[in-house]
A and B are shown apart, each in its own frame.
Chain A
Amino acid sequence: MGTDRERRGLGDRLPLRRVEFHILLSLASGERHGYGIIQDIEARGETAVPDVGTMYRALARMAELGLIEGAARRPAADAADERRNYYRITDAGRRVARGEVKRLEALMRAARLGRLVTKGAK
């Protein structure tokens, strides 16, 4: 029930902006604070790490859309025990992230068919 509506809802949100997808990827593995998300993005080898302002505007937008939500403000283990705002992914956010992954997989398949993917790439 509601599957068509969900698909239409997903279609409205996709494709995600790069920063939004990165945020969902980070939060998919657990709650993070802002700097934690940036560290995750750097760890993924992204050359252009989003600016802090860009990321927080994306966080505000995604919270309004219900893709993420604020978690309890609490001390961060890696920041000298200072308190931080944490975020967590919602079910809707997880569905949208899966939709984006499927979209990217379809693009990869098309790229493979067009022989645009080099041998090493999976």
Chain B
Amino acid sequence: MSGERLLDLSERWFRLLERLYPPDFSDNMGTAVVETYRDRARDALRRGGVLRLAALWVRALVDSVRNGAGERARPAVRWRRSGNWGRDAELATRRLLRAPALVLAVVGTLGVGLGLFAVVYTVVHKVLIEPLPYKEPGNLYFVWRDYRAFFDLGRGWLAGTDVAELQKAGGVIEDAAGLLRQLTTFAAREGADATEISVIVTSPNLFDLLGVQPVLGRGFAKEEGGPKRPPVIVLTNELWQRIGADRAILGTTVRLNGEPYTVIGVLPPKFGFVRNASLGPPQRADAYTTLNINLAQTNPSAGSYAGLVRARRGTSPQAVAAAVDAVGRVVDARDFKSKGLKLYPAGVAQDLVAGVRPALVVLGFAGILLVLVLMVNLASVLMARAAQREHEFAVSRALGANGSAVVRATLFEGGLLGLAGGAAAALAAVWGTRALVALAPLDLPRREAVVVDWPIAAIVIGLGTSVPWFVRSIRVSRSRMFAPWTKWSTTRFAASGSARSCCRASPSARCSWRRWVCSASCLVR
């Protein structure tokens, strides 16, 4: 047998042994391994003849069995150790790095578009949808005077006598409180610099009514309201932080307008109560103290109190309105000679956001429209990308990649792209929301609650991941519908391509024969 024939046989043997390695390793290194063995075979034949070549065949067998198994058990390259997912991740990353314009377009579109949507969603959700941080906020109502029988004012403050009447009404009204707001000077201790703060002066039952307990100390006791009440004060967490956040503040004396007040409690950080105003924006407070008067003995024609009532659990708004209206009739008959003064309740949350609701609803719809436009744009970009890759899919299928592998790799790439876009969108949302809050009017209700929290960030990232993934999956399912035609055309294409590459690799007299073999093998697959 001639040396050339022996070398051909050797090459076939080495190619057979190459199959003992995992496909990924063979794809990368298989040809080089066979070439090196062929060089060794040529050398062995020259130096020691057939016997030495036979020894090399045996050594190659042992080597391939040992290293093939070793490579399967512990792949040399890290990403191969993660199996299909590791390979998909590696290939998807490589493909995306080769298409920086696409990555920039998708991540930029998702980052800006979805980020803006997240800002809108955050504002709408936090202001309109999220419940207020009180116990059963749906049962809390502000009560207003309707003066329209006298002059054009449909939303007026209550008098202290109205609040006293609501407190003793009973029935569906569980409790009521009257609230005043004062701007006073505040000094944390004797001799310290004074600053101006906003103080809500209230009936002592306010915190029980809201169902809120201080994080430090206690709320007001029943006997700490009314004439000759002890001067006590509860600080908001924000004010407490501002003056040093000293836990030993309880029992110390602070000065309000120069008068000493004993600190008895500090409210939780997330507690953000506002006193709705008859006209103008809601009023925030830095501290709370109690009324030093008997509400029942105040001037009934001087409306200056916000009236807050808690309805019993399960009471309908209509029942609350009827109960408040009944109290209003009593007040009207007693203090206004039945000239037509009315009292009416308004749910705390609805009352708070009534002024901004229309604008925020419009903003919410604009956000939805933005996402729809974003999805259409993104779909166009990704469809164009998929169309560009038809050629690549065709080659992969023709070379033996099964359909599920192509689908998995495609969806993985979409998911990876979306994950990056979602993360960019979450960052844009956090910064965008901060910027919006900084620029928003100071009287925007629940302004302090408008922040991107973890659930919103997770929704944004999830949405970002699913949009390109969803578009890819539509593309893939469309491709599978036309699979028979695609398979026929791709195999024809790949067969001719493979034949050409066969000829390029071996430009010999056997080219035509090899071309037929290559074509046949591709068509059989």
**Residue with the highest number of chain A CB atoms closer than 10 Å, among B21, B36, B59, B71:** B36
Q: Which B residues lie within 8 Å of A56 (CB)?
A: 29, 32-33, 36
Q: Which A residues lie within 8 Å of B368 (CB)?
A: none
Q: B40–A60 contact, CB under 8 A?
A: no
Q: Which B residues lie within 8 Å of A64 (CB)?
A: 76-78
- Which of A52, A57, A85 contacts B71 (CB under 8 A)? A57
A36 CB to closest chain B CB (Å) equals 9
Q: Does A24 have its Cβ within 8 Å of any Cβ on chain B?
A: no
Within 8 A of A (CB), among B57-103: 59-60, 62-64, 66-68, 70-71, 76-78
Q: A60–B35 contact, CB under 8 A?
A: no
**Residue with the highest number of chain B CB atoms closer than 10 Å, among A56, A58, A84:** A56
Q: Which B residues lie within 8 Å of A12 (CB)?
A: none
**Residue with the highest number of chain B CB atoms closer than 10 Å, among A38, A53, A59:** A53
Q: A79–B39 contact, CB under 8 A?
A: yes
**Residue with the highest number of chain A CB atoms closer than 10 Å, among B21, B29, B31, B39:** B39
Closest to B18 in A: A53
Q: B60–A52 contact, CB under 8 A?
A: yes
Q: Does A99 have its Cβ within 8 Å of any Cβ on chain B?
A: no
Q: Which B residues lie within 8 Å of A61 (CB)?
A: 76-77
**Residue with the highest number of chain A CB atoms closer than 10 Å, among B21, B66, B67:** B67
B48 CB to closest chain A CB (Å) equals 14
Complex Cα distance, B40 from A53, in Å, reads 13
Q: Which B residues lie within 8 Å of A52 (CB)?
A: 33, 36-37, 40, 60, 63
Q: Does B25 have its Cβ within 8 Å of any Cβ on chain A?
A: yes
Q: B76–A35 contact, CB under 8 A?
A: no
Given contacts A51-B67, A53-B67, contact A38 B40 (CB under 8 A): yes
Q: Does A82 have its Cβ within 8 Å of any Cβ on chain B?
A: yes
Q: Which B residues lie within 8 Å of A38 (CB)?
A: 36, 40
Complex Cα distance, B37 from A60, in Å, reads 17
Q: Does A34 have its Cβ within 8 Å of any Cβ on chain B?
A: yes
Q: Does B402 have its Cβ within 8 Å of any Cβ on chain A?
A: no
Q: Which B residues lie within 8 Å of A54 (CB)?
A: 63, 67
Complex Cα distance, B35 from A84, in Å, reads 8
Interface readout for A55-99 with B: 1 if CB under 8 Å, 0 if not? 111111100100000000000000100101100000000000000
Complex Cα distance, B32 from A60, in Å, reads 12
Given contacts A38-B36, A82-B35, contact A60 B63 (CB under 8 A): no
Closest to B20 in A: A53
Closest to B25 in A: A60
Closest to B77 in A: A64
Q: Does B28 have its Cβ within 8 Å of any Cβ on chain A?
A: yes
- Which of B62, B76, B78 contacts A57 (CB under 8 A)? B76
Q: A53–B33 contact, CB under 8 A?
A: yes
Q: Please classify how large the interface on chain A is, using the bins under 10, 10 to 19, 20 to 34, 35 or more.
A: 20 to 34
Complex Cα distance, B42 from A1, in Å, reads 50
Q: Please classify how large the interface on chain B is, using the bins under 10, 10 to 19, 20 to 34, 35 or more.
A: 20 to 34
A5 CB to closest chain B CB (Å) equals 20
Q: Which B residues lie within 8 Å of A58 (CB)?
A: 76
Given contacts A51-B59, A52-B60, A53-B67, contact A60 B36 (CB under 8 A): no
Within 8 A of A (CB), among B4-57: 21, 25, 28-29, 31-33, 35-37, 39-40, 42
**Residue with the highest number of chain B CB atoms closer than 10 Å, among A34, A54, A57, A61:** A57
B263 CB to closest chain A CB (Å) equals 53
**Residue with the highest number of chain B CB atoms closer than 10 Å, among A33, A38, A52:** A52
Complex Cα distance, B399 from A43, in Å, reads 41
- Which of B21, B35, B60, B62 contacts A35 (CB under 8 A)? B35
Q: Which A residues lie within 8 Å of B77 (CB)?
A: 60-61, 64
Complex Cα distance, B397 from A68, in Å, reads 32
Q: Which A residues lie within 8 Å of B62 (CB)?
A: 51
Complex Cα distance, B171 from A94, in Å, reads 88
A67 CB to closest chain B CB (Å) equals 13
Q: A59–B39 contact, CB under 8 A?
A: no
- Which of B63, B71, B76 contacts A51 (CB under 8 A)? B63
- Which of B28, B36, B66 contacts A34 (CB under 8 A)? B36
B55 CB to closest chain A CB (Å) equals 13
Q: A60–B29 contact, CB under 8 A?
A: yes
Q: A53–B66 contact, CB under 8 A?
A: yes
Closest to A85 in B: B32
Q: Which B residues lie within 8 Å of A53 (CB)?
A: 21, 33, 63-64, 66-68, 71
Closest to B36 in A: A34
Q: B76–A60 contact, CB under 8 A?
A: yes
Closest to A57 in B: B76
A53 CB to closest chain B CB (Å) equals 3
**Residue with the highest number of chain A CB atoms closer than 10 Å, among B21, B66, B76, B78:** B76
Complex Cα distance, B67 from A84, in Å, reads 22
Complex Cα distance, B28 from A57, in Å, reads 11
Closest to B74 in A: A57
Q: Which A residues lie within 8 Å of B78 (CB)?
A: 64
B238 CB to closest chain A CB (Å) equals 44
Pairs across A and B, CB under 8 Å, 27 listed: A33-B35, A33-B36, A34-B32, A34-B33, A35-B36, A35-B40, A51-B59, A51-B62, A52-B60, A52-B63, A53-B71, A54-B63, A54-B67, A57-B25, A57-B70, A57-B71, A57-B76, A58-B76, A59-B29, A60-B25, A61-B76, A64-B76, A79-B35, A79-B39, A82-B35, A84-B32, A85-B31
Beyond A35-B39, A54-B67, A84-B35: 10 further Cβ-contacts under 8 Å? A35-B40, A52-B60, A53-B66, A53-B67, A53-B71, A54-B63, A55-B36, A57-B71, A58-B76, A64-B78
Closest 7 interchain pairs by CB? A53-B67, A51-B63, A35-B39, A34-B36, A60-B76, A61-B76, A57-B76
